[in-house]
Amino acid sequence: MTRTIVIGAGIVGLSCAYYLAQAGKTVVIVDPTPEGDKASFGNAAGLAVTECVPAGVPGLLFNMPKLLLDPLGPLFLKPTHVRSMLPWLIEFQRSSSKKRVLEIAPALAALNDRTYADFAPILRDLEYEQHVHNKGCLVLYNDESSFEKDRFSWDLKAQHGVRFERLNSGEVRELEPDIGPRKQFGVLEPDWSHISSPKQLMDRFLNWAKDQNIEFIRETAVTLERTQDRASVQLGNGDLLEGECVVVAAGAWSKSLAASIGDKCLLESERGYNTTFRTPGISLTRELLFAEEMFAVTPIVEGLRVGGAAEFAGLKTPPNFERSHALAKLASKMLPDLQTDNGDQWMGHRSATPDSLPVIGQSPKTPCVHYAFGHGHLGLTQGPTTGRLIADLVLQREPVIDPKPYGIDRFA
């Protein structure tokens, strides 16, 4: 079989399919519900090209117990999930050292720096270019002293070419008049953008794939077969799907597929929540990030999206939409005129590695299997470049960036 099998129809999987198809490959996408509600539909809509600092930074571990005490706060770890998550947590601690953070940041920056270049042909072919809004992102702090506590992260961003402008209270409200008085200091990151609607983008991407005669197989990929010269995927209906190559882009569900051919990976579902208010009663022009409270607010076609939280409770635990309520309540404190009486709630699974780096590259055990998952909060931002890099590796051409930092063998 000369076809290439892509497992997963999220933004990363479709980006891989796009660049493989552009290179002349026959692509088959395996996903039980390609149009289904997934992280690519419910994200905060930001092209977060400035986010080169990993989730774990020096000093964070001292604050984690305080964060975990609030059951509806920005971070929650389900007690019964601690034992199975322990290896991930140990590696997260290691990755939060200053030495390791300084190694991770350039690898994140290398992916982010290519976002606009690698997204451009996709946006052109989807006729979605006019729906990318280059308005920057406004990061909000209680005051300047709160900003100074994050100085390590901002200095690290600056070292990797991130531009930002510090704003006083008046300058913040000149940009966004609906921000309430609680936030007296802001940082504008002008290179950040947001799109009109993640769901709208994904719908167009799926329609494009169908127009290109890319085949969709609506089944769950259960296991991979260990072979050297061909790839096999065992489907949930018992069928065996064969091809010359498999790309695993199944997000938080990718860990078990890698394990089925002996590749160890530390991957967790970092469950995120949001509420999209259809008639918010206020008007914003750009994405807002509330630094102390750790949530985002974005104007999209469907309304105003308020999202955040990092809940570690596994793939099967039912959603706790009290988290969405808590985020909405927080947002109404920061944006006093926000109308919160007609919101659509959502929960999705971000695929999170302990070092914040995605897993991209060839399986060391089965060369015809490639990995493209673990992007955390940056799937929309890094998906197109991941797709291009995967195509480079599958076609054995010079990779657009060095794939070594993202290899799954770092977990071996």
Domains (range + CATH), the chain = 4-40+200-261+356-411 (3.50.50.60), 52-97+132-193+267-352 (3.30.9.10)
- pLDDT for res 63: 60
pLDDT at 331 over 70: yes
Question: What stretches of 220-321 show up as alpha helix (H) in DSSP?
Answer: 254-259
Q: What is the pLDDT of residue 228?
A: 65
How far is the first Cα of the chain from the last one, in angstroms, to the nearest whole number? 31
Note whether 134 and 123 are within 8 A (CB): no
Q: What pLDDT score does 37 carry? A: 74
Residue 325 has pLDDT above 70, yes or no: yes
Q: At what angle do helices 11-22 and 115-125 cross, to 10 degrees?
A: 80
Q: Do the strands 221-225 and 343-352 form a parallel or antiparallel pair, or are they unpaired?
A: unpaired
Q: Which of 389, 364, 365 is nearest to 249 (CA)?
A: 389
What pLDDT, on a 0 to 100 scale, did the predictor assign at position 61? 60
Give residue 409's pLDDT band: very low, low, confident or very high (50, 70, 90). Answer: very high
Task: Identify the pLDDT of residue 70.
Answer: 66
Neighbours of 129 (CB within 10 A): 12
Give me the phi and psi of 53, to 5 degrees please. -100, 125
Helices 151-159 and 98-112 meet at what angle, rounded to 10? 50
pLDDT tens, 117-127? 999 999 999 99
Return the SS3 of 308.
Answer: strand
The H or E element spanning position 305 is strand 303-312
Confidence class of residue 69 from pLDDT cuts 50, 70 and 90?
low
Q: What confidence tier does 57 reach under pLDDT thresholds 50, 70, 90?
A: confident
| Model pTM score | 0.96
Q: What is the pLDDT of residues 168-182, one digit of tens each?
A: 999 999 999 999 999
Confidence bin at 368 (pLDDT 50/70/90): very high
Return the pLDDT at 74: 78
Give CA–CA dist 18/388, Å, rounded.
8
Q: Is 357 exposed, middle or buried (0-12, 13-18, 19+ CB in 10 A)?
A: buried
Between 222-231, 264-273, 277-286, 400-409, the lowest mean confidence (pLDDT) is in: 222-231
At 299-308, the pLDDT tens digits run: 999 999 999 9
Q: What is residue 38's predicted lDDT score, i.e. its pLDDT?
A: 80
- The DSSP code sequence of 124-178 is HHTT-GGGEE---EEEEESSHHHHHHTHHHHHHHHHTT---EEEEHHHHHHH-TT
Q: What percent of the chain has pLDDT over 70?
A: 96
The count of other CB atoms within 10 Å of the CB of residue 242 is 15
